[in-house]
Homo-oligomer: A and B are copies of this chain.
Amino acid sequence: MAGGSPCASCKLLRRRCAKDCIFAPYFPPEDPHKFAIVHKVFGASNVNKMLQELPDYQRADAVSSLVYEANARKRDPVYGSVGIISYLQNQISQLQMQLAFAEAELLCIRMQQERSLANQHVIDIHEPSSLFCATASPAFLNP
């Protein structure tokens, strides 16, 4: 019972809304759709049982997740929230593939850079010979 009005659940089920009604804190009378959709998919009796099995502090989250699932089932009567799970899993596979490509490309570039640095080092080591050539060439030109 919220503010004198029966909660959305008791209104829909046409029963007296008791002071300790288990639905009342989560299904206010001003949002009748919230209970209607949960009732259509799970049934009031099942929702009641599910809430009874949970401590008070977890019930609001449980109701939110039931409402989410029920709306997903309404939008997609074949796959419901499993359709969303499947879509997200595909998105994850695509992202993992894109990430693997990007990381492989980075690895390739890093290896090229290391090879290039190593070659640079070889050139540095051989630089005296080019210096030798430069100093030797006049001698060669003037035997």
Binding site for B on A (CB under 8 A): 40-43, 45-46, 50, 53-54, 58, 61-62, 64-66, 68-69, 73, 77-85, 88-89, 91-92, 95-96, 98-99, 102-103, 105-106, 109, 134, 137-138, 141-142
- Chain B nearest Cβ from A38, distance in angstroms: 11
| A58 and B82 contact, Cβ closer than 8 Å, known pairs A105-B106, A137-B137 | no
Q: For residue A46, which residues in chain B have a CB less than 8 angstroms away from its CB? A: 40-43
Partner of A85, one of B42, B53, B85, B95: B85
Query: Is A85's CB under 8 angstroms from B84's CB?
Result: yes
Dominant secondary structure at the A interface = helix
Can you add 7 more A-B contacts, CB < 8 Å, to A41-B50, A62-B79? A41-B42, A61-B78, A61-B79, A65-B83, A85-B88, A92-B92, A134-B137
Partner of A65, one of B41, B82, B99: B82
Query: Is B78's CB under 8 angstroms from A54's CB?
Result: yes
Partner of A69, one of B64, B80, B95, B134: B80
Q: For residue A79, which residues in chain B have a CB less than 8 angstroms away from its CB? A: 61-62, 65
Residue of B nearest to A39 (CB): B46
